[in-house]
Amino acid sequence: MKDKEKFIDKVVIITGASSGIGRATSLAFAREGASTVLVSRTAEKLEKVANEIRKLNPNVLIIPTDVSLQDSIRNMIEKVMAEYGRVDILVNNAGTAHVGPISHEKFVEDTKEMMAVDFYGTVYCTKAVLPIMQRHGRGHIVNMSSVVGRKAFPHFAGYSVSMHAITAFSDALRQELHGSGIYVSIIHPALTQTAMLSHISPADMPPPFRRMTPITAESVAEAVLDAVHKKHLRVILPSQPKRLLLADAISPRLGDRIVRLMPNRVFASLIGIYRGKMYEHDTSY
């Protein structure tokens, strides 16, 4: 089978599909022959991505959905089933992010919002598709977390909480579904060049991010497809964060020390996280 045909006839739901990693993942699955269901809150943005996909693959469906609302998800799943009759792959990618110290007056409010969209959106979508996959005896669920879903960063505590919750949920889900024919993958990207942090001024970025070259949304999308195709259980990208996570597993003090050193240009260059480019505030999508 040609690589471009490895997901032919598969029905893939991608949440947060209107921009960033979701957009890149939707395009990547479409190139590989999949029927893509694009899910996000804004119909206009979804249509823009759908028009890109139609140049590659006519099999695309847009369904404006708020993943923080169970009724909205149920409506989305009903439309998918009416159109295709099944769900082969679910990519839980929808998310939002806020930055600030734990002492910030909006910390609790912002964390609740992130949990509602990032974590509970993942849970709601998973529970909605799981009975469908179980009836067919096959499927693959991909949950998007982050490197901070394994090691929390200062000024990113709320987001780290939601990402850690997704990590724990995915680990438990994978074990519960063992032997069912349904696979679970979790993706842990480092800082990625998307518009998710475009509402945050560079000065307010979490300190470890201030000297970090972001990876591309396309590289994360490639990792998602590879995880589904090869049934990888956990993917951390790029390779450099693995050293931080290993150091933190050996000693929290060592892990904290590395995080404190990351804003230093020389140190960041030595460990390979800074390669001359910084995060850009791109709002094109």
Per-residue pLDDT of the chain (285 residues; tens, 9 = 90+): 444 568 999 999 999 999 999 999 999 999 999 999 999 999 999 999 999 999 999 999 999 999 999 999 999 999 999 999 999 999 999 999 999 999 999 999 999 999 999 999 999 999 999 999 999 999 999 999 999 999 999 999 999 999 999 999 999 999 999 999 999 999 999 999 888 887 777 777 888 888 889 999 999 999 999 999 999 999 999 999 999 999 999 999 999 999 999 999 999 999 999 988 877 765 454
By annotation, the residues acting in catalysis are 159
Q: Helix (H) and strand (E) counts for the chain?
A: 10, 9
Write the Ramachandran bin of 35: left for phi over 0, alpha for psi from -120 to 50, otherwise beta: beta
pLDDT on residue 3: 47
- Rounded distance, CA 162 to CA 148, Å? 9
Q: Is residue 153 part of a domain?
A: yes
Q: Is residue 254 part of a domain?
A: no
- Rounded distance, CA 226 to CA 33, Å? 15
pLDDT on residue 2: 47
Q: Is residue 204 part of a domain?
A: yes
Let me know: does 38 contact 62? Beta carbons within 8 Å.
Answer: yes
Q: Is residue 277 part of a domain?
A: no
pLDDT on residue 281: 61
Let me know: does 231 contact 254? Beta carbons within 8 Å.
Answer: no
Q: How many domains does the chain have?
A: 1
Residue range of the domain that includes 118: 3-241
pLDDT on residue 282: 56
Q: Is residue 127 part of a domain?
A: yes
Let me know: does 73 contact 48? Beta carbons within 8 Å.
Answer: no
CB count, 10 Å around CB of 103? 6
Indicate which CATH number applies to the domain containing 27: 3.40.50.720
Q: Is residue 126 part of a domain?
A: yes
Q: Is residue 112 part of a domain?
A: yes
Scanning the chain, the segments in alpha helix (DSSP H) are 20-31, 43-54, 70-84, 107-114, 120-136, 157-176, 217-230, 240-250, 252-261, 265-270
